[in-house]
Structure 1
Amino acid sequence: MYNTSKYAVDHNLGDVISQGFGEAETCMHPTLLAEQHVLFDEAQQKPITVFASSGDSGASSRR
């Protein structure tokens, strides 16, 4: 998912990115999470709007 989003941002393939995730951020490796936040900042500078689903707890394996 990250590589696809990065390609879209790097190549200016649109002005909106919409994503939905089946797991909570707490399940992601901290390095990947940080890279994703940097990518979202890069998108904002273009300007590309990023939407992500929210309002659920995802498929978190942490309790």
Structure 2
Amino acid sequence: KKHQSPIQAGRSQVQPGIIQFEAPIHVSNVMLVCPQCDQPTRVGIRREDGVRIRVCKKCGEDID
């Protein structure tokens, strides 16, 4: 959301008020949703036989 003040540019006048628009979101502000517990969670890494496995930090289940 963005607050817009009234601006006169030539003959057209921009309407004042709160404007809602879509904007990109940074990847650091996005969390993975665990398929088992259906909650946003951080991801941990566990190694089995030299293979990295992603793990849910809340429930401990494998992701993927």
Q: Please confirm whether the aligned pair reaches a TM-score higher than 0.5, indicating the same fold.
A: no
Structure with larger Rg = 2
Flag the structure with more relative contact order, 1 or 2, with Cα contacts below 8 A and sequence separation at least 6: 1
Q: Of Structure 1 and Structure 2, which has the larger fraction of its residues in helix?
A: 1
**TM-score scaled by length of structure 2:** 0.18
Which has a greater percent of strand? Answer: 2
The TM-score with structure 1 as length reference comes to 0.18
